[in-house]
Amino acid sequence: MFAAMPTPVNDPSHGFCRDCLTLQRGSGLRCSACGSPRLARHPELYSLRIAHIDCDAFYAAVEKRDNPELKDKPVIIGGGKRGVVSTACYIARIHGVRSAMPMFKALEACPEAVVIKPDMEKYVRVGREVRAMMQALTPLVEPLSIDEAFLDLSGTERLHGRPPALVLARFTQAVEKEIGITVSAGLSYCKFLAKVASDFRKPRGFSIIGQAEALGFLAEQPVTMIWGVGKAFAATLEQDGIRMISQLQRMERGELMRRYGTMGDRLYRLSRGQDERRVVPDHDAKSVSAETTFDTDLASAADLVPVLRALSEKVSARLKKAGIAGRTVVLKLKTSDFKIRTRNRQLADPTRLADRIFQTGLQLLEKETDGTRYRLLGIGVSDLSDADRADPPDLVDVQARKRALAEGAIDALRDKFGKKAVETGYTFGKGRNAHPPEDVER
Ligand SMILES: [Mg+2]
């Protein structure tokens, strides 16, 4: 199916062609065999093992694959209930269309765009196909979302008969040929920089960040490149006069921790390219959830909210016990005529806190309490990952931090005195109309 793979040579002076995979010597700008300019060349090319793969404009790419007439047109996936852009293809992006942009603005920027309603079922199916191909490379695949994942390719050299860089390049080709969409890949020695690399040159990117260049590379980047530094936290840093990673590199760990708590420690380490997080493969469970069926149908928030709270605590307890966390909160409702409504929201970081699950579920539930009568309510989280990435201290939302602290204290009391010892306000008086929540795991 593919050109024969080259003999693996662990010689850093050897690059390879990303199109025909022929090994390259010297420093020519084009492949000696096929003339392609897409060459991979890097002093650490054959020693780096952590990869991040991200599909390019995923939803739009799938739609273009399925309808070739769209190929050269600007395509926007969106216009669902929320009226925002889910994904814009690269042609639409040239016109200034961006993800999460309100639809009317996107169409102002690009009136000729073809708008397509998202077909999530299809995207999930294609996402699974891509993931299955990743899992054929290594068991260490950690999905971050439907279309991106970390891969740890350590120790796969014997299996594949070639170093990770070549395995990765071949994988990107295989996805294009077999699935009909393109991906961008980043290769580095740690997760943080692998992800940064895959983002670097999209679409069809293949970027490498080695150990030797990490400090220098990071010095020139803005702090927003650091995982966990969102808009709000970037604003806090900006107030303190910190905009570039180079500034963090000059600061002591103690100083950063005094100012920003545990986030300060993260800033210290990541700004120096130190990231020890392992690639944690997908957990067996796809989600952790709890649901309950009512004796009689319920419609009002006053009836539904306490149930949501109790179920959120159940889910949280299970996550804490298993040492995992989930990034997407899923609310499930079944109407009196047995129609199922699921609503979900992705969080900035995975959580295992009952309060965060509840508050997110509450926002989703508010939109559904429109007089409809429900016979079942469930809440859960998906996109599971290791708990060590969960619930970074939110420096801006002081209330959220207080609630997280309170929740830790409640957990400790419950461990000591049993579950019934501490009840939060929301769960008092529940149960008159509800069966005890049953656990459902999928
Ligand atoms: Mg993507």
The total of other beta-carbon atoms located within 10 Å of residue 249's CB is: 16
Ligand 1 centroid–CA 292 distance in Å is 35
Q: Tell me the C-alpha distance between 166 and 164, whole Å.
A: 5
**Within-domain flag for 24:** no
CA 201 to ligand 1 center in whole angstroms: 12
Residues 266 and 328 in one domain: no
**pLDDT of the residue at 284:** 54
Residue 299, domain CATH: 3.30.1490.100
Please check whether residues 227 and 307 belong to one and the same domain.
no
355 and 226 within one domain: no
> Are residues 384 and 241 part of one domain?
no
Q: How far is the CA of 296 from the centre of ligand 1 (A)?
A: 43
pLDDT of amino acid 8 = 47
Q: Where are the alpha helices (DSSP H) in 44-190?
A: 58-66, 90-94, 103-109, 120-135, 157-160, 164-178
Q: How far apart are CA 336 and CA 256, in angstroms?
A: 54
Q: Kindly state the helix (H) or strand (E) to which residue 332 belongs, with its residue range.
A: strand 324-335
Q: How far does the centroid of ligand 1 lie from the alpha carbon of residue 406, in Å?
A: 36
416 lies in the same domain as 305: yes
Q: Specify the CATH number for the domain of residue 99.
A: 3.40.1170.60
What's the 146 CA to ligand 1 centre distance in angstroms?
Answer: 8
184 Cα: distance to centroid of ligand 1 (angstroms): 8
Classify strands 206-208 and 183-188 as parallel, antiparallel or unpaired: parallel
* Beta-carbon neighbours within 5 Å of ion ligand 1: 54-55, 58, 147
Q: Give domain status of residue 405, yes or no.
A: yes
- For 384-436, the DSSP string reads EEEGGGS----SS-HHHHHHHHHHHHHHHHHHHH-GGG---GGGTTTTSSBPP
* Same domain, residue pair 378 and 419: yes
Q: Parallel, antiparallel, or unpaired: how do β-strands 287-298 and 374-386 relate?
A: antiparallel
For residue 221, which amino acid is it? Q
Residues with a catalytic annotation lie at 148
Closest by CA to 13, choosing from 27, 31, 34, is: 27
- Range of 76's domain? 62-112
Exposed e or buried b per residue across 412-421, where buried means at least 16 C-beta atoms within 10 angstroms of its C-beta: eebeeeeeee
**pLDDT the model gives residue 230:** 84
Considering only CA atoms, which of 187, 190, 214, 203 is closest in space to residue 41? Answer: 187
Averaged pLDDT, groups of 10, the chain, 442 residues long? 44 83 89 94 93 97 97 90 85 94 93 92 91 90 90 88 93 95 98 95 95 96 92 93 98 95 92 92 73 89 95 89 86 90 90 94 95 94 81 64 72 62 44 36 30
> Which pLDDT score is estimated for 293?
84
Q: Is 419 within 8 Å of 274 (Cβ atoms)?
A: no
Place of tokens 């090319």: 45
Instruction: State the pLDDT at residue 179.
Output: 95
